[in-house]
């Protein structure tokens, strides 16, 4: 699926006030646990981290809480999403910024780590977004992606094509008044990469030492990788 950037921004702007609530409802709060488990795949300590497509800051805030980053730059193309999250990072080393994932407003090799949760499949060019992430990471920097990939196994396929396509629009229409947005979010998975395709793309874009973790039997996956460059020991 090739997402229209303007349509995606408009969709997220509409649902921004209820976005966090819907995430918790539709996942039965599993999304909170998945983010924390994914962030734990990064090495302890860390320096400056980019949280791309950060939304209201869930992933970046988890990285700060688990001491996987010392400071976060949160970048999102949708200003209302950043506005919806601003109270959450007040007083924390979290700097929000509006930016395009395909033309990141950052210098080369400026980040020690980069993170992306549930936003990769919404980019019109996933390869170009990955190339930009590689550009802004220092050699040996760490990448973390948490995403819903196109299912290959029966259970995730049944979930997305059965439960999610029916339940998500109903709940989204009831809570956020926008069934169409949650119909898109459920259907977008079918047009995205599989885990195997994503792994091959990461390798071709200069990421090595790729480690995968599946959540809820394969409904969601996390991958941690290292940008080609100076050799570093694997995290514990």
Closest residue by Cα to residue 113 from 67, 52, 50: 50
| Mean pLDDT for all residues in the chain | 90
Cα–Cα distance list, 9 to 6, 20, 78, 95, 100 (Å): 5, 16, 5, 20, 11
Please tell me the distance from the alpha carbon of residue 150 to that of residue 81, in angstroms, as a whole number. 25
Mean pLDDT of 117-132: 95
Rounded CA separation 144/41 (Å):
8
Q: 147-193: per-residue pLDDT in tens?
A: 999 998 888 888 887 777 888 888 878 887 888 887 887 788 888 99
Report the predicted TM-score, pTM, of the whole model to 2 decimal places: 0.91
What confidence score (pLDDT) does residue 1 get?
A: 45
User: Could you report the per-residue pLDDT of 181-197, keeping only the tens digit for each?
Assistant: 878 877 888 889 999 99
Q: Is the pLDDT of residue 231 over 60?
A: no
Domains and CATH numbers, the chain: 5-151+195-227 (3.40.50.150)
Q: For residues 132 and 61, give the distance between their C-alpha atoms in angstroms, rounded to a whole number.
A: 22
- The predicted pLDDT at position 3 comes to 66
Which of 188, 189, 210 is CA-nearest to residue 201?
A: 210
pLDDT at 184: 81
Taking 50 as the threshold, does the pLDDT of residue 233 lie above it? no
Give CA–CA dist 144/128, Å, rounded. 16
Burial code (b: 16+ CB inside 10 Å, e: under 16) for 202-233 equals beebbbeebeeeebeebbbbbbbbbbbeeeee
**Bridge partners for 103 per DSSP:** 100
Percent of the chain with pLDDT over 70: 96
Give the mean model confidence (pLDDT) for residues 218-224: 96
Distance CA 19, CA 30 (A): 15
Across the range 52-76, mean pLDDT stands at: 97
**Across the strands, what pairs with 48?**
71
Query: What is the pLDDT, as a whole number, of residue 190?
Result: 86
């Amino acid at each position: 699926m090739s997402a229209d950037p303007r349509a995606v921004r408009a969709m997220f702007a509409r649902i921004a006030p209820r976005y966090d609530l819907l995430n918790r409802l539709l996942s039965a709060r599993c999304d909170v646990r998945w983010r924390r488990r994914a962030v734990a795949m990064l090495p302890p300590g860390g320096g400056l981290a980019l949280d791309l497509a950060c939304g209201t800051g869930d992933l970046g805030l988890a990285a700060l809480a688990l001491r996987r980053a010392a400071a976060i730059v949160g970048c999102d193309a949708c200003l209302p999403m950043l506005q919806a999250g601003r109270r959450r990072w007040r007083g924390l080393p979290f700097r929000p910024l509006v930016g395009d994932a395909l033309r990141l407003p950052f210098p080369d090799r400026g980040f020690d780590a980069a993170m992306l949760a549930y936003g990769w499949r919404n980019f019109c060019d996933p390869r170009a977004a990955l190339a930009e992430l590689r550009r802004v990471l220092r050699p040996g920097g760490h990448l973390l992606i948490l995403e819903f990939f196109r299912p290959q196994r029966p259970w995730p396929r049944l979930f997305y094509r059965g439960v999610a396509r029916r339940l998500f629009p109903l709940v989204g229409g009831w809570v956020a008044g926008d069934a169409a947005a949650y119909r898109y979010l459920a259907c977008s998975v079918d047009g995205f990469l599989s885990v195997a395709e994503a792994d091959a793309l990461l390798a071709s874009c200069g990421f090595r030492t790729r480690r995968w973790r599946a959540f809820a039997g394969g409904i969601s996956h996390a991958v941690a990788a290292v940008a080609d460059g100076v050799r570093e020991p694997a995290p514990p």
